[in-house]
Amino acid sequence: MESALADVLIGRTLDRRYHVRSRIAHGGMATVYLATDLRLDREVALKVMHAELARDAEFVGRFIGEAKSVARLSHPNIVQVFDQGSDGQYLYLAMEYVPGRTLRSLLRERGWFACGEALEIIDPILSGLAAAHQAGIVHRDVKPENVLLTPDGRVKVVDFGLARAQAATGPTRSGLIIGTVAYLAPEQVTGGVNDVRTDVYAAGVMLWEMLTGRQPHTGDSPLAVAYKHVNSDVPRPAEYVADMPPAVDQLVRAATSRDPRLRPADAGVFLRAVRALRGAGDDSDAITGAWGQQAAAGYGAGGGYASAGGAAAPSGSHTMIVQDGLGYQTDAGWGAARHGRYGNRDGYEYGPKEPFLQRWLFSKRLGFLVLAAIAVIGLGIGGWWVAAGRYTPLPTVTGMSETAAVRALHAAGFGAREGTTVTDNTVPKGDVISTSPSGKAVPGATIILTVSAGPKMIAIPTVTGPNATVASAIQQLRQAGLTVSSTPKQVGVDGAQVGTVAGTTPPAGTSWPANRVVYVDQVGGMALPNLVGQSIGAIQGWAAQNNVTLNQVSGQSDEPAGIIFRQSPKPGSPVKSGGTVTVYVSSGPPMVPIPNVRGESFQQAQQQLQRLGFQVVGKKFGFANTVLFTAPAGSAAKGSTIVVYYGGF
């Protein structure tokens, strides 16, 4: 199915706007393509939902709502969402295209990171999550696969497709577990409240993995791993990394606490604690913030925190203080990292600060060194003046109008004049493309401006005729040098035969920029397809594409909510562009309360649920026959399937 979908979409233009060029990635919910936004002439990442999900009305509604929420986020560490829409059966999301690699790819290559490197990577991740949390959005699937690393060192969190507004969070709907099992918070497994602390847990597990080179909980099956998240604490990283700084160990331990109340309150609190450890923040008490007070009251077994005038530290034989990125101080002396701020698992060296500067100043060679330094500095200054010192930076004038550029150069002490005028399909007419020289120049020098003459203009040819087809019209326009959409524009023409070429948009004879899209107009009209059994969300996209007005009538039926159960006219009836089709949309079957069968035997629970009209599927793990929980819980549509988890140890 994957390859078939790729063959269909590659080379196609979705929604008359996004030209699909190649496939980037494929996942459980969607396939991501590299595409060109023809309207804005830019590269985008186009995330196309799988067809079976696009037919689910509930999923479509949630997808659209979440896309709107995430699109409001604008942060340098979050991949921007530009647009959302549908084209027939294809439901898509247009996002910022970020070339690079995932954190998972780098982890596979490196294995693990030194403490300072791990904190440096988690910092921008938490910064992006903090912005989302502040906007009331929970990611719910934080993992290395959803962290992108660009070649120039930027870090971006991607795929908020599972996010939902915090105001709507609560027990996971119908017992559905959303997320990746290795990073699931206990409350995601047990059906508890999924809020920002769920993301904090996943980020803590990801930091644990970067530090140790492995995942904290593993098992023979996803259910076994989920069971460990609920019933076992995440081990301390110090158990696997002998020279782990105590404050980092305690911070990871707090972030991965099974009790959400003992974690940092959100990604912002977690971020301030990380920056306090890195010595790069302005809040050195971040570790004893909202979560530190709870932890200090008795976090973990035999643990606790002792105040030491800086960040929090584990009580014990030494008291630790984060000190301006110099290492950490204990009652045994200073700890200086051998490799980087936190070292490379090579341990720490302790001892007093050495008066290196004092010994050097009183050296017998002081006079010789001072004279040599003066000579080197003098030669360096002279060489710098000849090579660069006499030059002054030019103001940036590319992209400005010629008048504004000349004004800016005069204000900076330079002359200016127009050089050649060049046709350019990307720079507007009259704007500056480049300067000569560029970067720096001697004060008073005359700067030559290369100015855009605008895009090449081409007269649109006539493409209609008795033998004209859409394919021949597109070929004729492209041979003229125009940019042409591969998807024709459907138009209504009285008396014209359906499928014939009616002209172009803009019309023939128009002088048109070579880089702007031209559409071939095709006479619309078709046989009405069978809409019954499809979601109203998907059919709304189809109707918009084909210029059909939907008359929606709501009614109760055995179909799920949002599914069409009747239509008028019947399938196969002719419908023209601008016509109206009446669809009857199900408001859903009646909901039936699900009894609490926890503690009963599986057979008792099965009989009780079947009497209420439910389908029952049992999933067992362990040796016992006792019901642990059901999914969903609370209530469900009559006739739906209830999964009964039973067993135990």
Q: Looking at residue 305, which CATH number applies to its domain?
A: 1.10.510.10
Q: Are residue 112 and residue 170 in the same domain, yes or no? A: yes
Q: Are residue 434 and residue 406 in the same domain, yes or no? A: yes
Q: What is the pLDDT of residue 385?
A: 52
Q: Are residue 131 and residue 252 in the same domain, yes or no? A: yes
Q: Are residue 72 and residue 219 in the same domain, yes or no? A: no
Q: What is the pLDDT of residue 323?
A: 28
Q: What is the pLDDT of residue 439?
A: 76
Strand partners, 26: 31
Q: Are residue 155 and residue 269 in the same domain, yes or no? A: yes
Q: What is the pLDDT of residue 522?
A: 86
**Whole-angstrom Cα distance, residue 255 to residue 270?**
8
Q: What is the pLDDT of residue 214?
A: 93
Which tokens belong to 395?
Answer: 């103001």
Q: Are residue 113 and residue 131 in the same domain, yes or no? A: yes
Q: Are residue 159 and residue 272 in the same domain, yes or no? A: yes
| Exposure letters 18-36 (e unless 16+ CB within 10 A, then b) | bbbeebeeeeeebbbbbbb
Does some domain include residue 264? yes
**Whole-angstrom Cα distance, residue 115 to residue 346?**
11
Name the DSSP letter for residue 238: G
8 Å CB contact between 440 and 393:
yes
Q: What is the pLDDT of residue 390?
A: 58
**Whole-angstrom Cα distance, residue 559 to residue 583?**
14
Structural domain ending residue among the three candidates 58, 76, 96: 96
Q: Are residue 158 and residue 302 in the same domain, yes or no? A: yes
Q: Which residue range forms the structural domain that includes residue 510? A: 457-523
Q: To which residue do tokens 């959100």 refer?
A: 266
Q: What is the pLDDT of residue 492?
A: 62
8 Å CB contact between 542 and 54:
no
Q: What is the pLDDT of residue 516?
A: 85
Q: What is the pLDDT of residue 321?
A: 28
Q: Are residue 548 and residue 567 in the same domain, yes or no? A: yes
8 Å CB contact between 505 and 490:
no
Q: What is the pLDDT of residue 462?
A: 92
Q: Side chain identity at 594, as an amino acid letter?
A: I
Q: What is the pLDDT of residue 298?
A: 31
Q: Are residue 228 and residue 82 in the same domain, yes or no? A: no
**Among 125, 119, 132, 63, CA closest to 91:** 63
Q: Are residue 138 and residue 232 in the same domain, yes or no? A: yes
Does some domain include residue 546? yes
Q: Are residue 89 and residue 119 in the same domain, yes or no? A: no
Does some domain include residue 327? no
Residue numbers annotated as active site? 141
**Among 156, 155, 178, 143, CA closest to 59:** 178
Q: What is the pLDDT of residue 330?
A: 29
Count of domains for the chain: 6
Does some domain include residue 206? yes
Q: For residue 90, give the CATH number of its domain.
A: 3.30.200.20
Helix axis angle, 103-110 relative to 196-212, nearest 10°?
20
Residue ranges in the chain modelled with pLDDT below 50: 1-6, 162-177, 280-365, 386-387
Does some domain include residue 128? yes
State pTM to two decimals. 0.46
Q: What is the pLDDT of residue 421?
A: 82
Q: For residue 433, give the CATH number of its domain.
A: 3.30.10.20
Q: pLDDT of 589-638, one tens digit each? A: 778 899 998 889 999 989 999 998 889 999 988 788 888 889 888 888 87
Does some domain include residue 556? yes
Structural domain ending residue among the three candidates 50, 73, 96: 96
Does some domain include residue 379? no
Structural domain ending residue among the three candidates 557, 586, 615: 586
Does some domain include residue 367? no
Strand partners, 32: 25, 47
Gyration radius from the chain CA atoms: 32
Q: What is the pLDDT of residue 546?
A: 84
